């Protein structure tokens, strides 16, 4: 018997010996309340870690989700294909707008306890309140200390290692409160707007051309149309048009290109030269790296704000994250 057969036999035996779900739940419910809370807390940490990893990898499938926004507007509509029987497939450019959800200073002041750290980012000058979160377990069972960053416009999850490598530093409470109030006032003046692309209509003939991220959305626009379709990522929308033989390309904004790259995608930014950008981690720092550039044009890239670094005897080209949008805009001009 091979090693794989032995392993499979061992796994099958272990599965057969597991108690049925009702008995397993009854055993947990027989434990003291504090121990029950600890068990479910660890289980929830496992689930959240897997969901977070799937979201980052682009493999998380939440099923059909209804997009809720304060305003949904159809900016453009393109016909991707038409069947002889009259059925068609459309690509809609949708603009969604949300009013900012702001945490007032008085609310965050109530959450400040002894273990709370008041932080200010050394690069962006933004502030955040850092609160300990549950210890999360990775896929291999390794416990990871984690924290929640509360900011005026929302909150995010960060591990201890990511915090150590970041630019967050402690600050005085007076400085924190003044900066928090300033950020909240600034956010209130500008609603959050996002543009995305929805393939709708008869999707089955082109389903495999829409990419691996099967994000199905249902939405109702301002003009009363109810739509159901698949989200086409911004970085993939022109590739979809090329696959269908449609030459009229969609011009993506620098914000869309940079956001897609920061989200972990390889994003083309210059169709003529074949250059693309992607997120890279170098020396514990998040950067935007330029791929496929012509070494003879390095002087031109540097003149637009990029910089080079020799790593493992290879010249690599990067964009500063803080000015990436301005650099991409210069390339498109």
Phi-psi region of 224 (alpha: psi -120 to 50; beta: other; left: phi over 0): left
pLDDT on residue 16: 60
> What is the chain's mean pLDDT, rounded?
81
Q: What three-state secondary structure class fits 322?
A: helix
pLDDT on residue 10: 47
Top-confidence range, 17-26, 57-66, 171-180? 171-180
Helices (H), the chain: 3-17, 21-29, 33-57, 105-111, 160-165, 173-188, 237-243, 254-262, 298-303, 324-332
pLDDT on residue 178: 92
Q: Which residue has the higher pLDDT, 328 or 50?
A: 328
Which residues sit opposite 136 in a β-bridge?
A: 144
pLDDT on residue 233: 83
d(CA 155, CA 89): 38
Taking residues 2-25, report their average pLDDT: 59
Q: Residue 309: count other Cβ atoms within 10 Å of its Cβ.
A: 13
Distance from the first to the final alpha carbon of the chain: 66
d(CA 233, CA 270): 18
Query: Which of the four pLDDT bands, split at 50, 70 and 90, describes residue 129?
Result: very high
d(CA 73, CA 223): 8
Percent of the chain with pLDDT over 70: 86
Taking residues 278-291, report their average pLDDT: 82
Cβ within 8 Å of residue 80, ≥6 positions away = 88, 89, 90, 91, 199, 201, 206, 240, 241, 244, 246
**For the segment 138-175, what is each residue's pLDDT rounded down to a tens digit?**
666 677 788 889 999 888 888 888 888 888 999 999 99
Which residues sit opposite 1 in a β-bridge?
A: none
Q: What three-state secondary structure class fits 230?
A: strand
pLDDT on residue 141: 66
Taking residues 186-194, report their average pLDDT: 85
Q: Are 137 and 49 in contact (CB under 8 A)?
A: yes
H/E element, 114: none
Flag whether pLDDT at 55 surpasses 80. no
Q: What three-state secondary structure class fits 87?
A: coil
Taking residues 95-99, report their average pLDDT: 85
Q: Are 100 and 153 in contact (CB under 8 A)?
A: yes
Q: Which residue has the higher pLDDT, 113 or 315?
A: 315
pLDDT on residue 176: 92
Q: What three-state secondary structure class fits 179?
A: helix
User: Model pTM?
Assistant: 0.60
Q: In what order do the strands lie in the sheet with 307-311?
A: 267-270, 275-282, 285-291, 314-319, 307-311
Q: What are phi and psi of 118, to 5 degrees?
A: -95, 120
Q: Are 219 and 225 in contact (CB under 8 A)?
A: no
Q: Where are the domains of the chain?
A: 3-57, 105-188, 251-333
Query: Which of the four pLDDT bands, split at 50, 70 and 90, describes residue 11?
Result: very low
Taking residues 161-190, report their average pLDDT: 88
Q: Are 164 and 144 in contact (CB under 8 A)?
A: no
Q: Are 132 and 115 in contact (CB under 8 A)?
A: yes
d(CA 157, CA 4): 38
Q: Which residue has the higher pLDDT, 295 or 9?
A: 295
Flag whether pLDDT at 61 surpasses 70. no
Q: Residue 89: count other Cβ atoms within 10 Å of its Cβ.
A: 20
């Amino acid at each position: 018997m091979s090693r794989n057969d032995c392993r499979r036999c061992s796994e099958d035996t272990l599965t057969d010996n597991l108690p049925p779900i009702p008995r397993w739940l009854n055993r947990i419910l027989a434990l003291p309340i504090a121990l029950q809370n600890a068990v479910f807390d660890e289980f929830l940490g496992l689930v959240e870690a897997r969901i977070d990893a799937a979201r980052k990898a682009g493999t998380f499938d939440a099923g059909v989700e209804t997009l809720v926004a304060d305003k949904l507007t159809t900016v453009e509509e393109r016909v991707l294909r038409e069947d002889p029987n009259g059925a068609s497939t459309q690509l809609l450019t949708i603009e969604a707008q949300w009013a900012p959800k702001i945490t007032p200073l008085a609310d965050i002041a109530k959450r400040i306890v002894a273990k709370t750290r008041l932080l200010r980012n050394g690069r962006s000058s933004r502030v955040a309140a850092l609160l300990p979160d549950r210890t999360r377990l990775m896929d291999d069972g390794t416990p990871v200390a984690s924290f929640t960053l509360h900011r005026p416009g929302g909150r995010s999850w960060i591990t201890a290692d990511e915090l150590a490598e970041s630019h967050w530093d402690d600050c005085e409470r007076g400085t924190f409160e003044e900066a928090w109030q300033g950020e909240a006032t600034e956010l209130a003046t500008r609603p959050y707007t996002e543009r995305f692309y929805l393939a709708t209509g008869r999707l089955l003939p082109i389903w495999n051309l829409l990419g691996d991220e099967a994000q199905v959305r249902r939405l109702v626009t301002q003009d009363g149309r109810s739509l159901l379709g698949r989200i086409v990522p911004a970085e993939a929308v022109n590739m979809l048009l090329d696959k269908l033989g449609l030459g009229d390309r969609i011009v993506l904004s620098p914000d869309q290109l940079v956001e897609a790259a920061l989200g972990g995608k390889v994003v083309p930014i210059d169709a003529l030269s074949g250059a693309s950008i992607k997120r890279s981690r170098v020396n514990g720092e998040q950067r935007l790296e330029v791929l496929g550039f012509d070494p003879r044009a390095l002087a031109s890239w540097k003149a637009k704000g990029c910089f080079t670094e020799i790593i493992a005897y290879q010249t690599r080209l990067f964009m500063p994250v803080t000015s990436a949008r301005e650099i991409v805009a210069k390339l498109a001009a």
